[in-house]
Amino acid sequence: MTGNKIILEDLEQIIGSNLNWSVFTGKTVLITGANGFLPAYMVETLLFLEYQGIIKNVRVLALVRNIEKARTRFKYYLNNQNLEFILQDVCDPIYIEEKIDFIIHAASQASPKYYGIDPVGTLSANILGTINMMKLAQTHSIESFLYFSSSEVYGNLENSKIPTTEVDYGYLDPTNIRSCYAEGKRMGETICVSWLHQFGIPSKIIRPFHTYGPCMALDDGRVYADFIADIVLNRNIVMKSDGKARRTFCYLSDATIASFMILLNGKNGEAYNVGNSDCEISVIQLARKLVKLFPERKLKVVVNEIQNSGYLKSKVLRNCPDLSKIKKLGWIPTVNIDNGFHRTVLSYIN
């Protein structure tokens, strides 16, 4: 198992949630984009459940494009017979003879730094990749399919629609190159409901808002990843905007529990917000909070609005989820922003 104390505590919290984990006994779960931040925690959760004897004979097929990255991310599990890596691009036709029971499709470029340099690759995983996964789901008559969408499908909302329910949508310009991500996610959702309607594929959709925690790529390009990197590397936080944009932040263990809850208990063809509406904060407030969480480092926040040409900034000034729908499934986020970011930084330092 993992040698990281913070991750181990997270896994214990996840498996202690009120879910019927026994359904995974003797089943095979395919997870695309398994190197990704949130899906990797889902891989670890399934393997930890087996390790703890809560389930038996679970098979995890981790589909990845970068095998070396996978071996690094899952270095503690390389001799685990329950884990198998599948090396390929999700946009290519996929053939798997082994019976698959669950599919979690999370393969996608999520960092804004890729939207401008690889828009085709950004949208392809959500459109071509989702179609490939649906065809595979048909072949295997799976029990449940979970598609990772995004809060970005909501576009630029009026203030009256924030906090945002699953049926609130704002303006999204399809001719803006940054829309390659949001429009790709929108179409991925439509593919899911189309295959459900025509072929009966039991698909559910998760729309994560900003999620953070251990094992984030510190060069991800998103502002909160930059902030964490600054604290870990003992650098002052340099703001590249006025920091007035407001975001909500959900800790990784909470988001992982929500993901499994939607996979197992969500209604077919429906989308669920996942976030933490109690943790809404402006970007500059987050920067100042992180500095205060680690006073011994004597860091400060510096405002220097020099734009990063490789980063396509969102025009959304505020996003906050209405969580009423997923709360009806029994999910409530429990990790507050101070504890969550403190744990995240410690997971790198340790």
C-beta of residue 308 within 8 angstroms of C-beta of residue 244: no
Collapsing DSSP states into helix, strand and coil, what is residue 321?
Answer: strand
Q: Which of 41, 77, 154, 181 is catalytic?
A: 181
User: Residue 61: which H helix or E strand, with range?
Assistant: strand 59-64
Please say if 181 is a catalytic residue. Answer: yes
CA distances from 58 to 55, 82, 290 (A): 7, 6, 39
Collapsing DSSP states into helix, strand and coil, what is residue 91?
Answer: coil
In the Cβ-directed half-sphere of 329, how many Cα atoms lie within 13 Å?
25
Classify the C-alpha dihedral 100-102-105-107 as positive or negative.
negative
Residues in the chain: 350
Q: Among 128, 84, 138, which residue's Cα sits nearest to residue 108? A: 128
d(CA 168, CA 158): 10
C-beta of residue 315 within 8 angstroms of C-beta of residue 156: yes
Other C-beta atoms closer than 10 Å to the C-beta of 67 total 12
Q: Are strands 144-148 and 102-105 parallel, antiparallel or unpaired?
A: parallel
Give the catalytic positions in this structure: 181
